Amino acid sequence: NAGVMQNPRHLVRRRGQEARLRCSPMKGHSHVYWYRQLPEEGLKFMVYLQKENIIDESGMPKERFSAEFPKEGPSILRIQQVVRGDSAAYFCASVTDNLNTGELFFGEGSRLTVL
Amino acid sequence: GNSVTQMEGPVTLSEEAFLTINCTYTATGYPSLFWYVQYPGEGLQLLLKATKADDKGSNKGFEATYRKETTSFHLEKGSVQVSDSAVYFCALSDRVNFNKFYFGSGTKLNVKP
């Protein structure tokens, strides 16, 4: 049973370009979370999605950032017109539908560097 | 609302020393509590968890007890190793509110030989 898969692991973009980060949750998981981690800092919640639905996007900047989790395929976090401040590690995590279990499984992260 | 507060780091210990990382929480319901560990350059891994009051989670020599009366979930290990050097995150999940998760700010542990 493969874990949470994120790609790319490393991404370099110039200011103004677009970054697309992909996350495939664990098999059987239909809930996905995205977190951002700046160097030497903690995790900042960005968005929580279920298949075809955004449940909570309160942590995501209103501009330039968007997320989706289509019926088929991975979840995608999209950052348009990147700026240097977007440089960070972006982690995806998934959880089963069983709310009593409540354990998050994390991917290895995608590290975005904006030049 | 829900939140998690954990002690600031870094915490520096010598090998075989006793470790405590404090974690307290506020919650409106009956959360599950977790400790995650992050090694350099990697994602977070679940270290242990507890789903109800008085439960003790344990793994790899680490332990934490869900204390409802003190709203705490302190992480302990009797004898740390250099390989335990990592960042430790305390977290809770609100199973009532769409399964939202709340993380502490993380505590960096450095263990010296």
Q: Is A91 part of the contact surface with chain B (CB cutoff 8 Å)?
A: yes
Instruction: Measure in Å the smallest separation between the Cα of A102 and chain B Cα atoms.
Output: 7
Contact A48 B45 (CB under 8 A): no
Q: What is the pLDDT of residues A38-82, one digit of tens each?
A: 887 888 999 999 989 999 999 999 999 999 999 999 999 999 999
pLDDT over 90, % of chain A: 74
Average pLDDT over residues A95-99: 70
Q: DSSP assignment of chain B, as one string?
A: --EEEE--S-EEEETT--EEE-EEEE-SS--EEEEEEE-TTS-EEEEEEE-STT-EEEETTEEEE-BTTTTB--EEESS--GGG-EEEEEEEEETTTTTEEEE---EEEEEE-
Chain B partners within 8 Å of A107 (Cβ): 43
Q: How many CB pairs under 8 A join A and B?
A: 57
- Minimum CA–CA partner of B40 in chain A: A40
Name the closest residue on chain A to residue B97, using Cα atoms: A99
pLDDT < 50: residue spans in chain B: none
* pLDDT at residue B11, as a whole number: 96
pLDDT for res B10: 94
User: Nearest residue of A to residue B42 by CA position?
Assistant: A108
